Amino acid sequence: MDIKQKWNIPEEALKAAFDKLEIDTQYYPLFVERANKALNNIAVGYEPEQDDIDGSIDIATEYINIYVGQIEAGLSETWAETFANLRINEDVDDSAWKTYWKICDLQNREQADKDLAFFARFLDSNPKFVENYINIFINGGTINDTYDFLQLYDSLIKKGKSEVYAIEYALHHIDTPDDDYCHQYATKFEECINKGIERGKAYTIAEAYEDCYDRHYSQDNDLEGKKFIDVYIQGFEYAVVNDIDSPEKFAKDYQAAYYNNGEKPSYVAKGEYDDIICKLLAD
């Protein structure tokens, strides 16, 4: 609810404060508006004192600096206004996130994405940062996440890892900062891509592999445990690639058949996947 305008800061105080900012005079009316609004939000039910006036000018100064910075970086007026209002009380990541989705609601996703691209360049003009920040931001990441990603990605490339592996490892590390799990995930994803499996399915398989690794491979050098996982994933991968319903169930049936009477058992179970599994085990 807007506070009724009752108090106005003396013009000389406003001009003196604005002159110190060294920004274009076109922003002076907005500065005045924000300062007086702040004062009327502060001095409710009593006549404002000098501390109230000074505090209101400080609020307007912070707001206008943020607002002008966004406008001059190419952001839309709606983004600049929303972001500046939020940024006064919140950190930059939360402010950007809330602003982005407000633009989506008020205008559309296309405008929000356009603003986001300008905002990324405002943060850091490095093309690598801009490209990866946008992707990481959309998935809920932060500015620091982006810098951590770039640092980890570069270190992996220097160690001779492929670009596919390095990207997926570094992205996964944002949410799962465990080297073993990131390695399992990135390795399986890279393996799928090298086989020609489409990216969406490769992500599904890599996630299943990591989850299975988490649940069944708790002991160091547990070769039998790893083999148990690999057999499950063989079935899971086949089901995903071939669009078989319930890949988890198929993988479990395949795994059970594989371990029934040794590595290549005579298949005797009766189920909806019998013919497929029997053929897979015979290959």
| 46: in domain | no
| 148: in domain | yes
Confidence label for 269 from pLDDT (cuts 50, 70 and 90): low
| 8: in domain | no
191 and 257 share a domain? yes
What's residue 260's pLDDT? Answer: 67
| pLDDT per residue as tens digits for the range 204-214 | 999 999 998 87
- Boundary residue ending a domain (177, 205, 239): 177
Find the mean pLDDT for residues 85-91: 96
136 and 218 share a domain? no
Residue with tokens 């799962």: 176
Hey, CA dihedral for 154, 155, 159, 165, is it positive or negative?
negative
158 and 219 share a domain? no
DSSP states of 48-74: --HHHHHHHHHHHHHHHHHHHHHHHTT
| pLDDT per residue as tens digits for the range 117-146 | 999 999 999 999 999 999 999 999 999 999
What's residue 258's pLDDT? Answer: 81
Cβ neighbours of residue 145 closer than 8 Å, sequence gap 6 or more: 136, 174
| pLDDT per residue as tens digits for the range 24-39 | 999 999 999 999 999 9
232 and 166 share a domain? no
Q: Which of these ranges, 18-32, 41-55, 96-110, 248-262, has the smallest mean pLDDT?
A: 248-262
- Boundary residue ending a domain (153, 177, 201): 177
| 158: in domain | yes
CA distance 180 to 278: 34
190 and 271 share a domain? yes
170 and 238 share a domain? no
> What integer best gives the mean pLDDT of the chain?
90
238 and 139 share a domain? no
Q: Which of 183, 215, 216, 186 is nearest to 202 (CA)?
A: 186
Q: Which of these ranges, 58-67, 89-98, 273-282, has the smallest mean pLDDT?
A: 273-282
What's residue 265's pLDDT? Answer: 45
Find the mean pLDDT for residues 85-107: 97
Confidence label for 3 from pLDDT (cuts 50, 70 and 90): low
| 264: in domain | yes
| 34: in domain | no
- Boundary residue ending a domain (177, 210, 244): 177
What's residue 105's pLDDT? Answer: 97
190 and 166 share a domain? no
The domain containing residue 172 runs over which residues? 124-177
What's residue 158's pLDDT? Answer: 97
CA distance 189 to 180: 14
152 and 219 share a domain? no
Domain count, the chain: 2
What's residue 1's pLDDT? Answer: 43
189 and 215 share a domain? yes
Helix axes 11-19, 50-72, angle to 10 degrees: 40
156 and 146 share a domain? yes
198 and 266 share a domain? yes
| 266: in domain | yes
| pLDDT per residue as tens digits for the range 143-202 | 999 999 999 999 999 999 999 999 999 999 999 999 999 999 999 999 999 999 999 999
Residue with tokens 């500015």: 143
Query: Would the pLDDT of 275 be above 70?
Result: yes
Query: Would the pLDDT of 22 be above 50?
Result: yes
Q: How far apart are the first and last CA of the chain?
A: 72
| 194: in domain | yes
Helices (H) and strands (E) in the chain, counts: 14, 0
